[in-house]
């Protein structure tokens, strides 16, 4: 039912006030359907559930310690107001963040609530399914970065609120983090010119989550990848493609290509990388001096 009056939003009892382009209106309040789902949705719900269950196993003194911590550390809600969580709510929030970083549940409150920041974080995504995340993190080796991406969106979309966490890295990540295999497995290849939104979340070693950085990358076409061959023990060689980068990043995978990790950087004129791990897969990709992607990843070879 449409109505005239001051701007209104929210629910009271069985009535919800909302608005659209035609104006404000009232409607009956309905509880949304919340399926458990699969993939990241199911993992996130399981983390909240296990954290909430673990609260019941704490001793009275442990619960009191969490209540005291929550009282001393108010948070800012979506309306910008400072609110104080209960001890239970704080316990669940902290431990859900720890579990998102693949860490065990902590029964004691955080020792420190200081969380690191990011410096010029970016994401580069190519139409071949290469996703290079650079955080510029100022955290420590025991801290965490949660990397989350969205499904590819139209170039006209300027806002996104649905993300899938695809990776976890250390807080002192000095090199770019390759999320391409996880992105393609979750969403498929992104169309050229589309936008992929990213969310980087800083979490300190005690599970305290900081301020998210959210932005987007436009999917582009990179240069042709190099052709890599396996040489002698621990060595790979390659042939420069048409577009020669300023330097090469060398990656290894110990899980058959499900994830890739940076191992070394080689000058642009060098066509050999040494000291790799026998049995791992290896590949390279090219970067310009400013860190932008020049070449898509090469083929992968098994290091002998």
252, 235: one domain: yes
Domain residues for the domain of 210 are 122-218
In a domain, 113, yes or no: no
pLDDT band with cut points at 50, 70 and 90 for residue 213: very high
In a domain, 106, yes or no: no
Is residue 19 within 8 Å of 9, Cβ to Cβ? yes
9 has pLDDT over 90: no
CATH at 293? 2.60.40.10
pLDDT at 34: 52
CATH at 174? 2.60.40
pLDDT band with cut points at 50, 70 and 90 for residue 24: confident
Give pTM, 2 decimals: 0.83
In a domain, 105, yes or no: no
- Three-class SS of the chain: CECCCCCCCEEECCEEEEEECCEEEEEECCCCCCCCCCHHHHHHHHHHHHHHHHHCCCCHHHHHHHHHHHHHCCEECCCCCEECCCHHHHHHHHHHHHHHCCCCCCCCCCCCCCCCCECCCEEEEECCCCEEEECCECCCCCCEEEEEECCCECCCCCCCCCCEEEEEEECCCCCCEECHHHHHHHHCCCCCCCEEEEEEEEECCCCCECCCEEEEEECECCECCCEEEECCCCCEEEECCCCCCCEEEEEEECCCCCCCEEEEEEECCCCEECCCCCCCEEEEEEECCCCCECECCCCCEECC
Tokens 């042709």 correspond to 224
Rounded to an integer, the average pLDDT of 93-113 is 95
**Average pLDDT, rounded, for the chain:** 90
133, 198: one domain: yes
In a domain, 202, yes or no: yes
295 has pLDDT over 60: yes
Residue 259 CB neighbour total at 10 angstroms: 17
209, 238: one domain: no
pLDDT band with cut points at 50, 70 and 90 for residue 26: confident
Question: What is the total count of domains within the chain?
Answer: 4
Judged by average pLDDT, the poorest of 72-81, 82-91, 111-120, 163-172 is 72-81
214, 143: one domain: yes
As a whole number of Å, the CA-based R_g of the chain is: 23
Distance separating alpha carbons of residues 276 and 104, to the nearest angstrom:
32
pLDDT at 76: 82
Of the residues 196, 218, 240, the one at which a domain ends: 218
195, 256: one domain: no
In a domain, 116, yes or no: no
């Amino acid at each position: 039912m449409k109505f005239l009056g001051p701007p209104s939003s929210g629910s009271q009892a069985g009535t919800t006030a909302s608005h659209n382009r035609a104006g404000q209106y009232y409607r009956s309040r309905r509880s949304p359907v919340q399926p458990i789902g699969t993939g990241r949705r199911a993992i996130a719900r399981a983390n909240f559930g296990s954290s909430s269950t673990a609260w019941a196993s704490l001793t009275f003194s442990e619960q009191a310690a969490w209540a005291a911590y929550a009282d001393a550390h108010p948070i800012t809600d979506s309306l910008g107001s400072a609110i104080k969580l209960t001890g239970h709510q704080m316990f669940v929030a902290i431990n859900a963040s720890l579990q998102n970083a693949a860490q065990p549940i902590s029964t004691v409150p955080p020792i420190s609530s200081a969380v690191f920041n990011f410096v010029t974080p970016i994401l580069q995504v190519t139409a071949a399914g290469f996703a290079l995340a650079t955080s510029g993190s100022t955290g420590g080796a025991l801290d965490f970065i949660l990397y989350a991406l969205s499904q590819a969106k139209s170039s006209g979309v300027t806002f996104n609120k649905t993300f899938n966490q695809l990776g976890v890295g250390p807080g002192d990540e000095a090199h770019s983090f390759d999320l391409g295999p996880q992105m393609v497995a979750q969403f498929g290849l992104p169309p050229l010119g589309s936008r992929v939104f990213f969310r980087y979340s800083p979490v300190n070693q005690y599970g305290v989550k900081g301020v998210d950085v959210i932005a987007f990358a436009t999917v582009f076409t990179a240069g042709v990848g190099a052709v890599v061959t396996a040489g002698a023990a621990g060595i790979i060689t390659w042939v420069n493609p048409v577009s020669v980068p300023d330097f090469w990043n060398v990656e290894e995978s110990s899980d058959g290509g499900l994830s890739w990790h940076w191992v070394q950087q080689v000058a642009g004129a060098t066509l050999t990388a040494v000291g790799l791990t026998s049995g791992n897969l290896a590949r390279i990709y090219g970067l310009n001096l400013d860190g932008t992607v020049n070449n898509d990843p090469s083929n992968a070879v098994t290091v002998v």
